[in-house]
Structure 1
Amino acid sequence: MAQSIQETERTYAAPAADDISWLSELAGAGPVVTLADRGVQELDAVYYDTEDLRLTSGGVGLRRRSGGTDEGWHLTLPLSGDSREEVRLPLSDDVPDGLRELTLSRTRGAPLRPVVRIRSTRSVRDLLDAEGVAVAEVGLDSVRADSCLVSGLHAMWTEMEVELAEGEDPRLLKQVEKVLRKNGIERASSPSKVARALRETTPAPDAAPGAGIEPGSAGAHVHAHIERLVRALSGLDPAVRRDRPDAVHRMRTTIRRLRGCLRSYRSVLDREVTDPVRTELKWLAGELAAERDHEVLRERLASGVQELPGEMVLGPVGARLRAWDAAEGARARRRTLAALASPRYLELLESLTRLLEDPPLCAKASHGPRKVLAKAIVKEHGRLRRRMDRALALPAGARRDAAVHHARKAAKRVRHATEAARPALGTPAKRLGKRVKAVQQIGGDHHDGVVARGLLRDLAVAAHAAGEPTFTWGVLYGEEKAAGEARLRQLPRAWKRARNPNLT
């Protein structure tokens, strides 16, 4: 069974001399009062990647390591700041299927093979607090890297790692670093051993994706935004596969941002190339929708029942909700995993990679960003204005509910368009995005209520057929209807603040 841990560490260039007496100065850094020598470890790791190093370029490491206290297969996934997640499995001859699956969004199905072998002689010291508990670990490493891609190429260096113990305050790293810098020890230039090893033992890669784009142009801004989103999409894939909290929601939101960017900036990127990609992104978002929509409904209905006074909960309401959750949740989960396992998903990832490597630039891509990006936002805002004015003019009922939902989707597109433009347009784009977000959130909550009312009616019908009381379902339905009407009363005011795009 896989073990997952979070590591927080910093890597430093080796001390300039063999004298390590300065280590004693770490006593006094934060809670550290003394050091304990844990001796020397011999570590031997073979790193796996694709032929063109797709894992390493995305900040991911996959290794088979022997020696030390944690030998086995390790997959390291980047997190924020100095942290990363490490997924561990026991030693085996080949890459475990579970880890191979978690790398799929980066490898896109390309074969994994050994790319570099890294052997380290590590001298380890624990940093102990007043009670003798290890709060961090310092490892001094003498490293040799041998290429598995080019015979005979190797590199040697020394470095130092400082890793926090689980649950310790990240501020300790800053306190330790203050002591290290005082002694002339600076951060390492490479983010990881494998990155340095491959840089020093492997021929330089081809030009970076989008290298031909004119710096500072409209095309450069849009390309950079798409690149961030594509990286986010592939980075969320392992979390979705392992059913991590909010992962499906974040992945679906990233997909929508990508679709919106490709739609809004058709004057920058040729739609003949991007429209098919948008179609596939829509498919993927649709496959994830079942699981995300189920999450929203589950939380909404469970909260609604919990907030009711006990005397208003009649019949097996909780049991019926749990049965619905189990059946629909499992069905939605299977749909998500089937989509991520499909050839269609891998082809979509390949299409996104080609879009980055060879962006289909239109003539306006070389123009200055302010005018081009602002014009695209204003155009999207015009669509929003037409939809919102129509929705607000309709009488209450199903037609108005549907019109508000369509206006809400247009608001989302405006908001996503402002995100790509913020580096160029600054505060005006940020302000518009914030105001449109308020419109979107009101419309979104209203639509969630409409969907919830439909489910509540279905649950009431099923309860009635089973001879159960339907009173509670009716109460919840009425509360959702009242909440939806209240949200709609808030909409005109929010729209008034967002009606003028004002990007100057």
Structure 2
Amino acid sequence: MADTKREIERKYEGPAAGGGAGLPDLTAVPGVGSVVGRGVDELDATYYDTADQLLAASSITLRRRTGGADAGWHLKLPVAEGVRDEIHAPLADSVPAALSSLVRSRVRDAALVPVVRLRSSRDVRHLLDADGALLAEVSVDRVRAERLSGGKGTAQWTEIEVELADDGDPAFLDKVEKKLRKAGLHRSASPSKLARALTETGAGVRRPSGGRPAARPPVTAGDHVLAYVREQRDALVELDPAVRRDQPDAVHQMRVATRRLRNTLRSFDNVLDRKVTDPVRSELKWLAEELAGDRDQEVITKRLTSALDDLPGSLRSGPVRNRLRTWSRARHSGSRQRLTEALDGRRHLYLLGALDALVSDPPLHKAAAGKPKKVLAEAIRKDLDKLGKLVDRAVSLPPGRDRDIALHEARKKAKRTRYAAEAAVPALGKPAEATAKAMKSLTKLLGDHQDSVMAREALRDLAEKAQAAGESSFTYGVLYAREERRAAADEDALRGAWRKAGRKAAF
């Protein structure tokens, strides 16, 4: 089992880092009541990475450490500057599966091997407030680094690390830093001990070249499309650990990146050859469907819970809230397992590899070398024309299943048009921004309608389960009727919304 901790810390170096005696009087830091020495820990850490340092290139560290209070395996994932999520697993001889799965999108099939060994003498001090509560931990680390692969160098240095206490105010670190700077210390140039060790014992952190952005800014239509594809490919890779950890909104964000990729490859088929991109789009559709179960469950549960909260007490009959909670948990658990299995499977690795190949060796049509304002605008106009026909067809149908399906198709086309416009913003500017904004508004209306369709299906399922258990189904019927009225209102508003969106779309 792996535990997670949000780590907020800063590293310093300079003359005063040469020994604990050189530290300033930290009791003078505002808010500090006392400084308590915690002794010296002897730490021995071996850092793991691929041969070409795929983890280090993404500022990710994976280590096996003995000594100190938290011996074991540690995986650190960057969140923001100076902020990382540290995921801890018990000590074992090999990399725990709970951690290796979280870096799978980065390393793919590459082996994780020892790259650096760091042995540190850590002199620890606790900064406490007047009540004795921990504010931060300050340590003076004397580090000895040894390269284990990719070189045989060694290095030594001393640094000071200040780590904020759990749930502490990050502004407190500014107060500590002010005192340290006055003592001649400055922020470390290296983001981590590993990065410094790699630099001082070899050639430094390698930056894999495959699929990386071109040095020059995008110029042609193809450049702009590929820049957007690359951005979404990177999002899939970066979101993978968050999805596995069930982080808030992670599934939704990965699903959006998948949709953006799939729709961009289809919208700009005048730039990229569909004979190559269609198989990739099929795999992206598969991933989107795997993500859909978990995300759709989140949306339905939130919608029904909110609707139940708004319902007067006189219209609530039976254990509706408990049944909704049980139903949601059961479906969430099943969808989580299926999604994890999908991310662990070979098919997902194939997709990531196919996207890498697409950006490193793109199947460009002749139009890819053309001017963005002509080529990209033409693709967006094409999408807008198709969307208009879908909306007209949907509103001409009588209420019912056929209309629901037609409106859902219009929603998907509106999203495609929005993503195409987003991809074109760097090249086309305000017209593309206005179109993306208009499509977002239209998609929101159509999305609310589709959510109502899904909510009604869920309410039928819940009512059947309630009846089978001898419970009242009255409240589910009330909620169903309200969803019907909401969907009808969305349908009535669609023509006006489409006319408004059409005026704003400047193509």
Residue 437 of structure 2 is matched in structure 1 by 434
What are the residue-to-residue correspondences of 1:122-133 with 2, within 5 Å?
Answer: 122-133=122-133
Displacement after TM superposition at 1:217 (Å):
2.1
Residue 170 of structure 1 is matched in structure 2 by 170
Task: Give CA deviations for 1:345-404 in whole Å, capped at 9, x if unaligned.
Answer: 121122223334444444454555454444433333333233223334444333332222
Distance, in Å, in 2 between the alignment partners of 1:362 and 1:155 is 51
Displacement after TM superposition at 1:178 (Å):
4.1
Matched residue count: 504
- Give the direction of change, closer, same or farther, for the CA distance of 1:263–1:119 in structure 2 (3 Å limit): farther
Q: CA contact under 8 A between 2:210 and 2:356: conserved in structure 1?
A: no
What are the residue-to-residue correspondences of 1:216-365 with 2, within 5 Å?
Answer: 216-218=218-220, 219-318=222-321, 320-365=323-368
Distance, in Å, in 1 between the alignment partners of 2:177 and 2:418 is 40
1:216 counterpart letter in structure 2: P
Residue 98 of structure 2 is matched in structure 1 by 98
- Give the direction of change, closer, same or farther, for the CA distance of 1:236–1:481 in structure 2 (3 Å limit): same
Residue 50 of structure 1 is matched in structure 2 by 50
Displacement after TM superposition at 1:426 (Å):
4.0
Q: CA contact under 8 A between 2:65 and 2:73: conserved in structure 1?
A: yes
| 1:455 aligns to 2:458 (yes or no) | yes
Q: CA contact under 8 A between 2:23 and 2:183: conserved in structure 1?
A: no
Farther off after superposition, 70-79 or 8-17: 8-17
Q: CA contact under 8 A between 1:214 and 1:220: conserved in structure 2?
A: no
| 1:157 aligns to 2:160 (yes or no) | no
2:406 counterpart letter in structure 1: A
> Which among 206, 209, 212 is matched to residue 207 of structure 1?
209
Distance, in Å, in 2 between the alignment partners of 1:300 and 1:135 is 40
1:477 counterpart letter in structure 2: Y
| 1:412 aligns to 2:431 (yes or no) | no
1:7 counterpart letter in structure 2: E
- Runs of 5+ unmatched residues, structure 2: none
Farther off after superposition, 98-107 or 183-192: 183-192
Displacement after TM superposition at 1:109 (Å):
3.0
| 1:382 aligns to 2:388 (yes or no) | no
2:209 counterpart letter in structure 1: A
2:494 counterpart letter in structure 1: L
Task: Give CA deviations for 1:114-172 in whole Å, capped at 9, x if unaligned.
Answer: 11112233333333333343312333333332222135223333433322111112223
Q: CA contact under 8 A between 1:210 and 1:359: conserved in structure 2?
A: no
2:331 counterpart letter in structure 1: E
- Give the direction of change, closer, same or farther, for the CA distance of 1:319–1:396 in structure 2 (3 Å limit): same
Displacement after TM superposition at 1:310 (Å):
2.9
Task: Give CA deviations for 1:202-234 in whole Å, capped at 9, x if unaligned.
Answer: 455553534657533244444443333233322
Task: Give CA deviations for 1:422-454 in whole Å, capped at 9, x if unaligned.
Answer: 344444433332232111111111111012212
Displacement after TM superposition at 1:25 (Å):
6.4
2:191 counterpart letter in structure 1: P
Displacement after TM superposition at 1:276 (Å):
1.6
1:124 counterpart letter in structure 2: V
Q: CA contact under 8 A between 1:378 and 1:501: conserved in structure 2?
A: no
Distance, in Å, in 1 between the alignment partners of 2:474 and 2:30 is 59
Distance, in Å, in 2 between the alignment partners of 1:193 and 1:475 is 60
- Give the direction of change, closer, same or farther, for the CA distance of 1:271–1:119 in structure 2 (3 Å limit): farther
Q: CA contact under 8 A between 2:102 and 2:241: conserved in structure 1?
A: yes
Q: CA contact under 8 A between 1:435 and 1:494: conserved in structure 2?
A: no
Q: Secondary structure of 1:499's partner? A: helix
2:346 counterpart letter in structure 1: P
- Give the direction of change, closer, same or farther, for the CA distance of 1:119–1:412 in structure 2 (3 Å limit): same
Q: CA contact under 8 A between 2:127 and 2:137: conserved in structure 1?
A: yes
Displacement after TM superposition at 1:318 (Å):
4.1
Q: Secondary structure of 1:430's partner? A: helix
Displacement after TM superposition at 1:462 (Å):
4.7
Distance, in Å, in 1 between the alignment partners of 2:156 and 2:360 is 33
Q: CA contact under 8 A between 1:214 and 1:366: conserved in structure 2?
A: no
2:66 counterpart letter in structure 1: S
Distance, in Å, in 2 between the alignment partners of 1:403 and 1:70 is 57
**TM-score, structure 2 normalization:** 0.88
Farther off after superposition, 111-120 or 241-250: 241-250
C-alpha RMSD of matched pairs (Å) = 3.0
2:55 counterpart letter in structure 1: L
Q: CA contact under 8 A between 1:259 and 1:282: conserved in structure 2?
A: yes
Q: CA contact under 8 A between 1:230 and 1:352: conserved in structure 2?
A: yes
- Give the direction of change, closer, same or farther, for the CA distance of 1:266–1:142 in structure 2 (3 Å limit): farther
1:194 counterpart letter in structure 2: L
Displacement after TM superposition at 1:173 (Å):
2.9
Q: Secondary structure of 1:168's partner? A: coil
Q: CA contact under 8 A between 1:210 and 1:223: conserved in structure 2?
A: no
Distance, in Å, in 2 between the alignment partners of 1:25 and 1:503 is 63
Distance, in Å, in 1 between the alignment partners of 2:15 and 2:211 is 36
- Runs of 5+ unmatched residues, structure 1: none
